[in-house]
Structure 1
Amino acid sequence: MVKVFRCAARHGYAVEVSPFIPNRVACAASQYYGIAGCGSLLVLDETESGLSLIRSWQWGDGLFDVAWSESNEHVMVAGGGDGSLQLWDTANHTAPLRVAKEHTQEVYSVDWSQTRGENLVVSGSWDQTAKVWDPALNQSLITLRGHEGVIYSTIWSPHISGCFASASGDGTLRVWDVKGGVCRLAVPAHNAEILSCDWCKYDQNIVATGSVDCSMCVWDLRNVRQPVNQLRGHTYAIRRVKFSPFTKSLLASCSYDFTVRSEEPKCGASLTERMDGRSEITCSLRLSSIIHTCVASQLIDRLSDVPQVPHTHTAVD
């Protein structure tokens, strides 16, 4: 069963499944495709009858990404087109708890660390920098430079404390050591912009990238001379890639070709499921770490979640 939530005059950019509350998602959206206008942050719950709006806030610029706190079920951080990060609380109906504005251009990626004993936020920006923050967003703890293009994706390692990966318009995947304040590895992963990356939840050495060149690459960080697998099922740029929290080798992806795919590359590029026939671009994708059958996707001109399907499939609006 497919359930859809529509938000007038807003274009979806990111969707994040709550790590605490089953069937709850946060959605970041922008007016006029994020080029101009305002943004909205929405919290939705899936019910038997559909999707229920729990909370919504408006922001003076577009919102491009959102991440839930890993220690507080009510708190999330969002990244905006004005270079700001905002800390939001579902119990606060009016304004963010805090706003931090250190980036000089759009914040396109935010992520909350998941490793035990660590509570940090990382942001990636069009100003080519990544910043690491304490959970209250009081002040950035470190600014990391090295990319020569827009940073589209910043993702914490689920295995290694103080380690995150970033993907950039310069065609490189980079692995950063926050404690040392350095880039430990720079991989020339694609001959085109990389829009997304994600860590395997079962192997600290495996990272996937998705690029404008229509390919997904799976990398073993111990030997980056060539990818372990290269998947070419999409026909346009890949907007988001995500490893399954439940199946080691399952990768989900969404693309500007109007499709969402899930594939298991361990035995070659074997297609598990392809969802197409859509009239909107899917620009975000998230797999729940709580519910084995829950997949959330988001379209560029409407917000959508959450079909209940077998875990070997992905689903769309």
Structure 2
Amino acid sequence: FRSSFLKCLGKQQMDPARHGYAVEVSPFIPNRVACAASQYYGIAGCGTLLVLDETETGVALVRSWEWSDGLFDVAWSEANEHVLVAGGGDGSLQLWDTNNHSAPLRVAKEHTQEVYAVDWSQTRGENLIVSGSWDQTAKVWDPALSRSLTTLRGHEGVIYSTIWSPHIPGCFASASGDGTLRVWDVKSAVCRLAIPAHKAEILSCDWCKYDQNIVVTGSVDCTVCVWDLRNIRQPVNQMLGHAYAIRRVKFSPFSKTVLASCSYDFTVRFWDLSRNQPLLDTVEHHSEFVCGLDFNLHIPNQVIHKNRCSDNTVGFFFYATS
């Protein structure tokens, strides 16, 4: 397994001091990505939400919007190719439409601190949004953001990641600064499982697309841990290699055992759980923190990730792996 090619397809010029936080490939349009960014690492200033297309000549801007506070995460609707939701530093969720040039369709502000995670449900028979906040709560919303349907409490630290199960309706996982990975049942509004997964903050989690019992976590302790929810005494895999905190972890949509991680050590790493030596490849192309990462759902093994470049641009790098 090695990267078969590596190229920057383009850089989108942004306002000075914008820092990329999240990137997600459209579930409908193979060459389209949404990107959330903030000024000054989200400490102060505004945010930018961008929608971009990969073209034969580079990356083309489809739409961009400015927000009054930093933007930390973004998710596409699973029902409408034009709609996406973003989470902001002002405690808001905004619903955006690529056909609307100016303002969000709706803004919901129930969280009392930064919204650091948003995700749109993927299972059939439901259409829900989940958000995770620095106020230590997760909220579940209807797709119009008219109001939150339930508020879930239990974490004792910042919630950095909330991810719907791709298998089980009304079930999502959350990762927190309290070092725990939790699994929630929305219908009963309870935490079904709390795993003391790391002795440090957990910044990201993701579900295996092929096994409802497998979840991966990435932590400030520089480890990637894979958990079997049927036996949580210890991780089934623990991957070492990153030198600094792991910002995002993602399972491949095309392989049961392949996943990727990105880190504040400027690298992206690919892993295969089926191997005795799971590290497949390390991409050292970036010159800043790598915060956003996603697999393309339409093109096998194509990955896009996002960092803040030193020339005040945000670069979008596409890698095809084999």
Give the distance between the partners of 1:277 and 1:158, measured in 2 at CA: 31
Listed as ranges, the matches of 1:1-317 within 5 Å are: 1-6=7-12, 7-9=14-16, 10-301=18-309, 302-310=313-321, 312=322
Give the distance between the partners of 1:50 and 1:91, measured in 2 at CA: 22
Q: SS of 1:3's equivalent? A: strand
Q: SS of 1:307's equivalent? A: strand
Higher-strand-fraction structure: 2
Q: SS of 1:254's equivalent? A: strand
Q: CA deviation at 1:203?
A: 0.1
Give the distance between the partners of 2:88 and 2:194, measured in 1 at CA: 27
**Aligned partners of 1:153 and 1:168 also within 8 Å:** yes
Give the distance between the partners of 1:278 and 1:207, measured in 2 at CA: 27
Give the distance between the partners of 2:314 and 2:39, measured in 1 at CA: 13
**Aligned partners of 1:295 and 1:305 also within 8 Å:** no
Q: CA deviation at 1:268?
A: 3.0
Give deviations 1:244-272, integer Å, cap 9, x for gaps.
00011001000011100001022334221
User: Which residue is equivalent to 1:315?
Assistant: none
Give the distance between the partners of 2:85 and 2:238, measured in 1 at CA: 33
Give the distance between the partners of 2:287 and 2:318, measured in 1 at CA: 18
260-269 or 163-172: which moved more?
A: 260-269
Give deviations 1:32-82, integer Å, cap 9, x for gaps.
111000101000000010000000100000000000000000000000000
Superposition RMSD in Å:
1.0
46-55 or 4-13: which moved more?
A: 4-13
Q: CA deviation at 1:3?
A: 1.3
Question: What letter is aligned with 1:168?
Answer: S
TM-score, length-normalised on structure 2? Answer: 0.95
Give the distance between the partners of 2:143 and 2:198, measured in 1 at CA: 33
Q: CA deviation at 1:2?
A: 2.2
Q: CA deviation at 1:304?
A: 2.8
Question: What letter is aligned with 1:282?
Answer: V
Give the distance between the partners of 2:234 and 2:202, measured in 1 at CA: 16
Question: What letter is aligned with 2:294?
Answer: R
**Aligned partners of 2:306 and 2:317 also within 8 Å:** no
Q: Tell me, which stretches of 5 or more residues in structure 1 are unaligned?
A: 313-317
**Aligned partners of 1:294 and 1:306 also within 8 Å:** no
Give the distance between the partners of 2:148 and 2:300, measured in 1 at CA: 35
Q: CA deviation at 1:89?
A: 0.1
Q: SS of 1:2's equivalent? A: strand
**Aligned partners of 1:241 and 1:254 also within 8 Å:** yes
**Aligned partners of 2:92 and 2:115 also within 8 Å:** yes
**Aligned partners of 2:308 and 2:315 also within 8 Å:** no
Relative distance call for 1:66 and 1:277 in structure 2 (3 A) is: closer
Question: What letter is aligned with 2:306?
Answer: Q
298-307 or 144-153: which moved more?
A: 298-307
Give the distance between the partners of 1:108 and 1:268, measured in 2 at CA: 34
Give the distance between the partners of 2:146 and 2:44, measured in 1 at CA: 28
Q: SS of 2:22's equivalent? A: strand
Q: SS of 2:320's equivalent? A: coil
TM-score, length-normalised on structure 1? Answer: 0.96
Give the distance between the partners of 1:31 and 1:283, measured in 2 at CA: 14
Q: Tell me, which stretches of 5 or more residues in structure 2 are unaligned?
A: 1-6
**Aligned partners of 2:223 and 2:246 also within 8 Å:** yes
**Aligned partners of 1:229 and 1:268 also within 8 Å:** no
